Amino acid sequence: MKLKLKKIKRTASIPFEFPPDYTIEWKENNSSESGITCSLLQKFLRCRQAFLYTIHRWEPKGNLGSGLLYGSMFHDFLERLYKRKKKMESIGIKTVFNNYVKNNKHDFRSVSPDEILRLKTLASVMAEMYQEFYKNDFKTFDFRSLEEEFDIEWNGYRLRGKRDGLVNEAGDRLLLWENKNYSRINAELSDILHFDFQCLVYVLATEAEKLMTVSGVKYNVVRVPQNKFTGSVKEYRDTIREAVESKPDYYFIRYDVQYTDRDKRKFGIELKAMLDECKALINGDIQVYKNVGACLGQYKCSFIQACSANSLRCYQRKQTRFPELSH
Ligand code: SF4
């Protein structure tokens, strides 16, 4: 069998910008563009080349996928729900999602009206069912904060981020609250959440910030139904409702994860080493080549064109390094 290979066109390359114009250290630069977030560290873990593109604010031109848009919409609903501490009426839920789309026009700029309608319908019906399923949450959980940003010094580095929530536990202990939306959930998900990178970073950051013990994480996982949208809102709503009502535990899942002191200590040692390495990479003290093992897989790397053509022609620079943060 003959394999047809795609011809690789070399285009005029835009030079990658090195060295960078910022620092991750706490003392030297405290501007809105310095420091490091968990998502950047995760990129570093996956591929250092991708980390360098991202740290220089490069991103692919084009839209966020529907999955990401839906996740952000639902996240916004959860924040509002727990802040108001009482159930929303259907009409209120619809308004939340209409406003979300209106206030984030840029993200939806090339999404078709049909797809926006589908996303709003899916989010609305899941929101209604979520609050029915978890109707006792307002009595059960004592939220200390929701969607709170942190910006702290940790071992000489500036760690920044935003936690979904913090729940008070007995005594002076806290629990992280972490919302996740997944379309596919493997049987092994609950196993790997025991050493989830983001939550471990957030636990260490929160303990350093609040000077309290964070004993673990409560994962609030909502599975995204995969029903087909044929254009009829009523039919789509009904099929989702039917699917979720027939097995609610399949769609609404909660996992509790506790960390031992040893977990936290060992992770802290590794995190410090990782930050030292990030700094060396940013400063050009160590070099990196592409990590081919990370290009494909469950999620295709969005920098494949940059690496293969050695050009940033299909990419644009983000306005700010941390658009997810308010400053
Ligand atoms: S395409 Fe591959 S080598 Fe290039 S940044 Fe992405 S993961 Fe790294």
Confidence of residue 2 (pLDDT cuts 50, 70, 90): low
Average pLDDT over residues 307-326: 85
Task: State in Å: Cα 302 to ligand 1 middle.
Answer: 8
Asked whether residue 96 is domain-assigned, the answer is yes
Mutate which of 300, 304, 308 for ligand 1? The one with the most ligand atoms within 8 Å of its CB, which is 304
**Mean pLDDT (the chain, rounded):** 88
- Give the burial string for 86-120 (b: 16+ CB within 10 Å, else e): eebeeeebbebbeebbeeeeebbeebeeeebebbb
CA distance 217 to 181: 16
Task: State in Å: Cα 305 to ligand 1 middle.
Answer: 9
What is the per-residue pLDDT for 210?
93
Query: pLDDT tens for residues 137-173?
Result: 999 999 999 999 999 999 999 999 999 999 998 777 8
Asked whether residue 103 is domain-assigned, the answer is yes
Q: Which domain holds residue 73?
A: 62-140
Q: Whose CA is nearest to atom 1 of ligand 1?
A: 304
Query: pLDDT tens for residues 7-48?
Result: 545 444 444 555 566 788 887 656 778 899 999 999 999 999
What is 60-75 written as a DSSP string? ESSPPPHHHHHHHHHH
Determine phi and psi for 200, rounding to 5 degrees: -65, -40
Q: To 10 degrees, the CA torsion angle through 123, 127, 130, 131? A: 180
Q: What is the pTM of this model?
A: 0.86
Asked whether residue 313 is domain-assigned, the answer is no
Asked whether residue 243 is domain-assigned, the answer is no
Say if CB 315 and CB 57 are below 8 A apart: no
Tally the domains of the chain: 1
What is the per-residue pLDDT for 11?
46
Average pLDDT over residues 168-192: 82
Q: Whose CA is nearest to atom 7 of ligand 1?
A: 295
Average pLDDT over residues 221-233: 90
Q: Whose CA is nearest to atom 5 of ligand 1?
A: 50
Report the pocket of ligand 1 as residue ranges, CB < 6 Å: 47, 49-50, 290-291, 294-295, 301, 303-304, 307
Q: Whose CA is nearest to atom 4 of ligand 1?
A: 307
Asked whether residue 322 is domain-assigned, the answer is no
Asked whether residue 275 is domain-assigned, the answer is no
Asked whether residue 122 is domain-assigned, the answer is yes
